Chain A
């Protein structure tokens, strides 16, 4: 197990190395382009040259990469071109905002998906199973930007119950969270629910469940004590992988509702070529994704004794 953990974390570091290298090359390979995006399109060639010299962009690529990694590790993310402030000042609040949005979504989504998936899977082929399966396909088919405008029309325009934007201008407000969270939950829960259903349905056909039924154990006991434990192993990996998907959905949803999170920041930075912000957001997104994937893999191995003892 320890060796496995070491290997998985080794792979994670290797992926992070390649990803940071790619991000660095895509953004900073050409010093002149960096200088131009920092100083703006009207900068004179002499100014660009001066900037390149003053900021050490005349050094070799390898040195600059190592220097950049070193500064990232101590939390120096550079200066934002759009905001004229250190990236760190904006970045961490934005990341925390996204963390709040994604965290609330994640808890609701997983609970909803597990309950529905188990309810469907324990009675495979029943009308309830059919209904839940079709419901989870249907909601997964409505992309975030579509459900965002539909929900906005219903709850903001027609009913007037909820605010249409979630910019949190006057501090955190629960009511502004309702729409973004609903949009993300609606799109995301179906996949986990279907995985849980498949896993649960498979467990229900095994011999040990049949034995438990024939022994005359109460049905509730069989489901909660015997079936669930094994049925939830497979969805666990899917749930961890879902965090990667959630980060994708966050970009669209934050843009749709004007939520001040890191997805919206990344989009803005990418459109206006604010390279240090792009780099910070890109590294953060991949780090979260790779880290959760690694945890998912390790957790799955730990939970599933058939793999653990191989």
Chain B
């Protein structure tokens, strides 16, 4: 009996590293996705190595109003400096780190809340579903930026409040997606099997349903990272963002806006391009992932 099982061609379950490598190899089939992934990785690396690559202290007042690609007092400024003489490249690098950190933290928190709500609504159905869906409907009926302005203006602008506002505003959308996927997946036979085994509801939701819903969720996560990046920038632009003087891209744009007409458009254009490039990276990555997942 034992010999027989050895000769059988048992499917080997790959470990998670192998599966990730396989997923990345799959992404190579989508050039758009590769470009997007490349942009995102580029910004992540820059954020991680910010202390090493940033040429100056981002808050140090060096020489004001230097145009890009110029050398003043033996100091080279690739992107020039702003009205207070702070090096724009250094502010861009550190600002990027701050934006990426808060975007990731906020999106992950929103996902944690959205996933729990969505699983609960989709799996238990009945009045739990009705109640959660109604709350989601109410929140989603606010135009997002109106909601952000109301929340941040009431609570005050700080990193933690921004995370809270993002969780509040975007977890209902995530909840709807998870709920839809859960409704679909809970009709499968392996769920019935788990229920027959007597598994607890939480085990079924977390171990059986959630992993099988990951495909669309990963695509949505990338898109939402883009939205959150836009949102954090928008709040900074409206003066409701991360507190100064540490740099954030939206704040840099709004401070520099007055100097566009004064002859220094680079101060605003450079951070504007940085936000757009990062968001483009997330959007292209999401598009590539979607394309690849449809091919499967």
Contact = CB atoms under 8 A, between A and B. Distances in A.
Interface of A: 11, 14-15, 18-19, 22, 26, 134, 137-138, 140-147, 149-150, 152-153, 156-158, 164, 244-245, 247-249, 251-252, 255-256, 263, 266-267, 270-271, 273, 278, 281-282, 285-286, 289-290, 293
5 contacts: A140-B283, A146-B276, A157-B261, A267-B149, A270-B153
B289 to A, nearest CB: 13
Contacts of B137: 11, 15
Q: Is the interface of B mostly helix, strand, loop or mixed?
A: helix
Contact of A146 (B146, B272, B283, B287): B272
Contacts of B238: 251-252, 255, 267
A289 B272 contact: no
Given A164-B261, A266-B149, A286 B272 contact: no
Nearest to A269: B153
Contacts of B276: 141-143, 146-147
A285 B254 CA distance: 25
Contacts of A263: 145
B142 A146 contact: no
B143 A153 contact: no
B269 interface: yes
A251 B149 contact: yes
B234 interface: yes
A278 B284 CA distance: 37
Given A137-B280, A153-B268, A248-B145, A278 B257 contact: no
Contact of A15 (B141, B237, B283): B141
Contacts of A286: 141-143, 146
B260 interface: yes
Nearest to A262: B146
A309 B287 CA distance: 35
Given A137-B284, A149-B268, A248 B144 contact: yes
Contact of B233 (A11, A145, A158): A145
B48 interface: no
A145 B253 CA distance: 8
Contacts of B240: 271
